[in-house]
Each structure stands twice: as C-alpha cells, then as structure tokens.
Amino acid sequence: MRTDVVRLGRLYGERTGEMMRFLSSMRSDRCIADADVLVDIAHVLMLERQRIIGTDIAKQLLPALLELNSGGVPEEVFDDRFEDVHAGIESFLIEAVGPDVGGRMHMGRSRNDEVATCIRIKLREDLLKQMAALLKVREVLIALAEAHRESVMPGFTHMQHAQPTTLSHHLLAYEQQFSRDFDRLRDAYVRVNLCPLGAAAFASTGYPIDREYTSKLLGFEGLVVNTMDAVATRDFALETLAALSILMANVSRLCEELVIWSTSFVKFVSLDDAFCSTSSIMPQKKNPDTAEIMRAKTGSVFGAYTGALMTVKGLPMSYNRDLQELTPNIWRGMRDAKESLRLLIDMLSSATFDTDRMKEEAGKGFSTATELADTLVRDYGLPFRTAHNIVGRSVQKGSLTLESLEESAKDLDLGISLTGKGLTEDQITAALDVANSVGLRKATGGPAPFATKIAIADCKKQLDKDSALIDERLARISKAKEDVLADARRLVA
C-alpha cells in the first residue's frame, strides 16, 4: 500500500523513516480509528444524499467501510509512515476499491474537520465512562457513610484535632466533591458533543454539503457552527482536562488521608493487602502504594492539562499542526484519571475502618472545648468571646475542670464567678462528652446522625438522577451508531 497518496502530487523528496515517525500521529490515532470509520460512513452517506457522489460510488465505498467497522481496522493501516490514521484509512480504501472510487471519499472535507470530529466522538464515550466510574465511587462513599453514622472521630483543621465529627460526615464531604466533579464532566460533555464536520480545512466547501445531516448521523447534539472555530478550537478538550484535574486533586486529597490514616501513629484505616506492597528489605512493611500512585497520577493529569494549554496558547487561527501534539494529552489525562477511579472504588470498599481508634482520638486535644464555651453562653448568658477566653485560658492551664475555669475567669479579671452562677462539674462533663457534642450538631449538612441521615437520602436521590442521565446519553449515542450503520447497509443492499 502506498503511504504517500496525500503528498505525492505536491511534494518531491524522500522522507526518512525518522522524519515520518516524528511527524506522524499514528500512535495516538489508534484510539480514534473506529471513530474515523464512522465519520467516513456518515460523510459518504451525506455525499450520496446530496448527489455530490453517485449512488454507484457510495455502493462501492460503503461495503469496504462497513467491513472496517465490523472486522476492525487492519494493522497495515497503522503504519507510522502515514501522517495519520485518516491518511491510512483513505489509502487502504483506495487500495481496496481502486483510485476511481476510493479517491472520491475525501470530497468536501479535510483532515482538519475530520480529526476534530473523531476526537469528539471518542472523548464523549470516555467522558461517559468516567462519569459512570465516578458514580460508583460516590456509591461506595454513601454506603460507608450509611454504615458509620454513629462512628465518632476527630475532625481536623490545620491538621490539629479540632472538633469531633462522624466518619459518615467526613466521607460525605468527599462524596459532595465527587458529585461536583460529576457535574463538571456532565457540563463539559455538552460542549464536547458538537460536530465540526463540514468545516473542511476551515472555510467549509463549495459542494452542497449538509452539515446538520452528518451531525445527526453521528449522534451529535448540534454543530460547532463557525467553520474556522470548528477546526481551530480545542477548548472542549481543555475544559475536560481541567475538570479531570480538579477531580484528581480530590482523589489525591482522599489518598493522602488514606496514607496518613494507615500510619501506625493514626491507625484509623487498614487498606486491603491487595492495594498495598511490602518492602524488599523490611519484612514487616505494609505500604499504601496504590494510594501513593494515585496521588502521583494526579500530577500526570495536571501535566496533561498544562501540556494541552501550552500547545494552544500561541496558535493563530485556524488549524495548525501543533494541535496534533495536544491530542495525546487528552488520552493520557483520561487514562490516568480512569484507572485511578476504577481502583479507588475497590480500595475504598475493601478498606477497614478502626472505629475504636477513631473514638479514642475523638475527644483528644480538648476537641469539645467549643461545646463547653457554648454551654457558658447558653446557660449563663455570657458573651461568646468571654466564654471563649475563659475556656481558652483553662486549656492553657491544662484542664477543663470547674476549678480551673473559675481560676481562668479570675485571671482574666472578668468579675465573673462561674460557681456563683451555678455551673456544676456535671454540666462540664456533659458539655465535654463527644457523642453529646456531635449529636447537637444537627444543622443541615452537619455531622450529627440526624443530619447525615437526611444528607445520605439526598445523595442517593442525586445519584439516581445522575445515573439516569448517563444511561440516556449512552442510549442516544449507541442508537445513532446503530442507525448510521443501518442506513449504510440499506444503501448497499
């Protein structure tokens, strides 16, 4: 098969293999090969319908394309002496059905609109898979949150024991982050699923093409209308990578916590052995490697995003070959995020949480001091700042007893006697009780079992809606695919 059908008219001079490989996008084009065949089929159907090519030509082109669709694109097409998979497939067709027929497929289009269309087709599928994986992560978090509504644990700010909370509350915080990640991908999808085909090189074409028709055949929700924009923009990819980067930042924070929680200082969690490795020298070691690798993959996804941004930032209108170098960043970012999410699902669901250890830590570091200050406010009418100062001074003294609170009030020259007001040791003990403190925090979104019960019900409702949206989008694109293939078969028959 000739690998120079595109250039042989205009350009002389042999290219070295090194040169051809340097310029070729073939390696990363593998993942858009199937999309390219679909785009070819839709394009040929449109050319025939608009009488730009004869039915006899379409009848010869389509069987070869349908064969590529059902049997897969043969290995010889992926020869990296082709500039790209589009040139590879066109050359294959010319070889298969002869130049008089095969040479007519590329009428009224360019690889510029072709590649942009292929990327969008592949990317929308990847987005839906990614969203489905996110749903599973959220599902696991919700199930864990449901099981741990009563499990108290320390909550932290500045990584210092701050106030007691519940494991349920902590996990639901992650669920909410992932739920917003889902929304960002959902929104990006809307702008990915638009069709650039028909833009040709950038100025569209003089043939009477029907862009709306090919767009519909390929399951797009509409056109990237301006044909210069259609070939020049990769903002849909940048937006996706930005959303993936934020998602991975959330994954990384969760992984960081799992790493910290599995240390012997903390011991809040034990990750399943399958997600850990040991040391080649220290036989006792159990290292949380999977969480560490995910933390690092986050950096790779940021790198993919930055790489893509850097590629476009200096480009004049419209298509520039630089754009070819942007594309692998999309697939790399997607792959790393997808693999991380898939493993995160099982790593989380197989983890064992040590609720006794959490409980043991929950009241440490005077973590219920706020509740004690609130008691002084509620029961004795002190201004909050005064109560805060008294309790703070008492913590400085090293204990929260009636005696030390009384002394603190005296130290601060407040002219207040807490015993005089009637404060008792029992009241202090009740205020400092962890379960009591958590139970009181039942405002919307708070850690109390009462509040997490409501939050979990809301999360489940949202999860069902999000899951229905994915099903609907998947059904639309697979129906479009079936339809376009059926149309092609009908024309051939």
Binding site for ligand ARG (CB under 6 A): 25, 84, 111-112, 115, 319, 321, 323-324, 327
CB of 339: closest distance to ligand ARG in angstroms? Answer: 24
Which distant-in-sequence residues (6+ apart) come within 8 Å of 112 by Cβ?
A: 199, 200, 201, 202, 231, 318, 319
CB of 99: closest distance to ligand ARG in angstroms? Answer: 21
CB 211 within 8 A of CB 43: no
Task: Give 112 or 452: the residue with its C-beta nearer to ligand ARG.
Answer: 112
CB of 323: closest distance to ligand ARG in angstroms? Answer: 5
Task: Give 36 or 48: the residue with its C-beta nearer to ligand ARG.
Answer: 36
Task: Give 40 or 181: the residue with its C-beta nearer to ligand ARG.
Answer: 40
CB 185 within 8 A of CB 127: yes
CB 340 within 8 A of CB 251: yes
CB 200 within 8 A of CB 227: yes
d(CA 25, CA 119): 13
Question: 265 vs 55, 159, 358, CA distance in Å?
Answer: 75, 14, 12
CB of 319: closest distance to ligand ARG in angstroms? Answer: 6
d(CA 417, CA 422): 9
Task: Give 323 or 400: the residue with its C-beta nearer to ligand ARG.
Answer: 323
Task: Give 130 or 311: the residue with its C-beta nearer to ligand ARG.
Answer: 311
Active-site residue list:
158, 279
d(CA 276, CA 59): 57
CB of 237: closest distance to ligand ARG in angstroms? Answer: 12
CB of 26: closest distance to ligand ARG in angstroms? Answer: 9
Task: Give 37 or 135: the residue with its C-beta nearer to ligand ARG.
Answer: 37
CB of 112: closest distance to ligand ARG in angstroms? Answer: 5
Which distant-in-sequence residues (6+ apart) come within 8 Å of 236 by Cβ?
A: 120, 123, 188, 191, 192, 194
Task: Give 68 or 323: the residue with its C-beta nearer to ligand ARG.
Answer: 323
